[in-house]
Amino acid sequence: MAIATSDLRNDIGPQGVLPAQRKSWQPRGKIVASQNESSGSHGPASPMTAHRSGPLNGRLKPPGDKSISHRALILGLLCVGETSIEGLLEGEDVLRTASACRALGAKVERLGEGRWRVEGAGLGSLLQPSDVLDFGNAGTGTRLMMGVVGGHGLTATFDGDASLRKRPMRRILDPLVLMGVEVVSEMSGGRCPIVIKGTAEPAPIEYRSPVASAQLKSAILLAGLNSPGRTTVIESEASRDHTEKMLAYFGANITSVPEGAHGRKITLEGRPTLTPRAVIVPADPSSAAFPLVAALIVPGSDVTIEAMMMNPLRVGLLTTLLEMGADIEILNPRIEGGEDVADLRVRHSALHGVHVPAERAPSMIDEYPVLAVAAGFAKGETRMRGLSELRVKESDRLAAVAAGLAANGVGHSIEGDDLIVTGAGRVAGGGTVATHLDHRIAMSFLVMGLASDAPVTIDDAGMIATSFPTFRPALERLGASFVTGDAG
């Protein structure tokens, strides 16, 4: 029977951890590489400058979806037998998850570009990792794998780069503790490195999620997979549903029903027989966002983005840009690999400011930095409401976006959790933007520089490889002008 979280909360401390579990951190295995704020673990910072470009023209297929790529590898790990994946994003974040799957007992092989095979260890039969699970910059990999490890009787250390070490993990640890996981050690405020001792008998819980987070929901469901009972997650704002869809596709008994005005109640029966399946990864709308906005703001552009995933829980940016007057044609809608996809023909457009409601945030959470760039080129005020979650991404994105806008002469303000950009129809540029180990800050401001009066420089392009390793050549093929180094 499900245990209501309210019944358990009184037994634990205010942050969900028994005082005895608050120990100082003791590493298990070695911690790799020293990390610093400017370069993380990827070597020296590599500045890059974007110059005002001529019209962007041509076709571009964005890389595979990052969320689905992580999940395909993880479900492959949890099946017995061979899972084949096509279109896997070969970015650093996903490669870290592949390594973690190997450390937990899977055989993971690359067969060709984007083509991978996973021979799983199977639910309930994972191996004890012998070393630290180092997720680099990847919050998704870390949080989903905390769920996997938490639902097995394994002890593992989770760590990553300087950005990951700042990100809050307490939101994941709280429900896992309710399921029986022990937090052996953590850095203050529930930060990595974190050591957890999972349980082979995770308690079935019903959990009301305090934040609209697919990572949190997925961690609970992945832990619940090995539970002898039923695990329920209730979210008041629906977040991306890739875990639910993929679990159903692999044979789990999982239901998702509407809850309140915008939410969902998801229920998973534990200990399913998971059957390996072929996964085709659709193109990532969060990566497509960069060429899409670039085509809208560079005069004369006409670009077709191929096979972009149109999952309704991922298309908030598209909805917003259409409201802003963007000339985007949705062509050839179809279903590929179980997801809605379509080609988008995008032409340079005169944009105007709009108000973006808070309830849209989960469906475009990673797209606000590049929307802020589009808003700078629009005429009038764009108000984006309810952005508190942006403060805990790869960087404090609210602060990083505001600083980038300021450096390039774009009027803006932050009021509470709202970002207000006052667009003037053009952007002065000429600034240097601090990226804080954040790939999406890096790509957003490079896109700005393609249409601003003066070039825009970012202090470090290195992190772009985490999600869109082909960003530079893909945009250069359309006509974008980037130069390594600063504007000189």
Report the residue from 35, 83, 140, 457 that binds ligand S3P according to the rule CB under 6 A.
140
| Residue ranges in 222-241 that form contacts with ligand S3P under rule CB under 6 A | 240
Of 232 and 311, the one with the shorter C-beta distance to ligand S3P is 311
Contact between 214 and ligand S3P per CB under 6 A: yes
Short-list 440, 430, 451, 479, CA closest to 350:
451
Q: Is 412 helix (H, G, I), strand (E, B) or coil?
A: strand
CA atoms within 13 A on the CB side of 14: 1
Of 159 and 438, the one with the shorter C-beta distance to ligand S3P is 438
Looking at this protein, which amino acid is placed at residue 342?
Answer: A
Select the span of 38-46, 77-85, 210-218, 470-478 touching ligand S3P (CB under 6 A): 210-218
Of 140 and 444, the one with the shorter C-beta distance to ligand S3P is 140
Contacts of 31 by beta carbon, 8 Å cutoff, 6+ apart: 132, 134, 159, 193
Looking at this protein, which amino acid is placed at residue 128?
Answer: Q
Q: Shortest distance, CB of residue 309 to ligand S3P, whole angstroms?
A: 12
Cα separations in angstroms, 303 against 12, 54, 327: 54, 13, 11
The mark string for 142-181 relative to ligand S3P (x by CB under 6 A, - otherwise) is ----------------------------------------
- Is 302 considered catalytic here? no
Report the residue from 21, 83, 137, 215 that binds ligand S3P according to the rule CB under 6 A.
215
Distance from C-alpha of 100 to C-alpha of 423, rounded to nearest angstrom: 44
Q: Shortest distance, CB of residue 216 to ligand S3P, whole angstroms?
A: 6
Short-list 455, 390, 401, 400, CA closest to 429:
455
Of 240 and 412, the one with the shorter C-beta distance to ligand S3P is 240
438 touches 445 (CB < 8 A): no
Q: Shortest distance, CB of residue 481 to ligand S3P, whole angstroms?
A: 28
Report the residue from 366, 438, 459, 460 that binds ligand S3P according to the rule CB under 6 A.
366
Short-list 94, 149, 88, 148, CA closest to 117:
88
Q: Which helix (H) or strand (E) holds 457?
A: strand 456-458
Distance from C-alpha of 455 to C-alpha of 430, rounded to nearest angstrom: 5
Of 53 and 163, the one with the shorter C-beta distance to ligand S3P is 163
| Number of residues lying near ligand S3P (CB under 6 A) | 11
Q: Is 298 helix (H, G, I), strand (E, B) or coil?
A: coil
φ, ψ for residue 71, nearest 5 deg: -70, -35
Of 284 and 343, the one with the shorter C-beta distance to ligand S3P is 284
Q: Is 167 helix (H, G, I), strand (E, B) or coil?
A: coil
Residue nearest to ligand S3P (CB): 67
Q: Which of 366, 438, 459, 460 is catalytic?
A: 366
Contact between 67 and ligand S3P per CB under 6 A: yes
Q: Give the max Cα distance, the chain.
A: 65
Tokens in use for 478?
A: 């359309």
Q: Shortest distance, CB of residue 366 to ligand S3P, whole angstroms?
A: 5
Q: Which helix (H) or strand (E) holds 112?
A: strand 107-112
Q: Shortest distance, CB of residue 316 to ligand S3P, whole angstroms?
A: 12
Select the span of 126-134, 178-186, 209-217, 302-310 touching ligand S3P (CB under 6 A): 209-217
Which positions touch ligand S3P (CB under 6 A)? Answer: 67, 140, 213-216, 218, 240, 365-366, 389
Q: Give me the active site residues, please.
A: 366
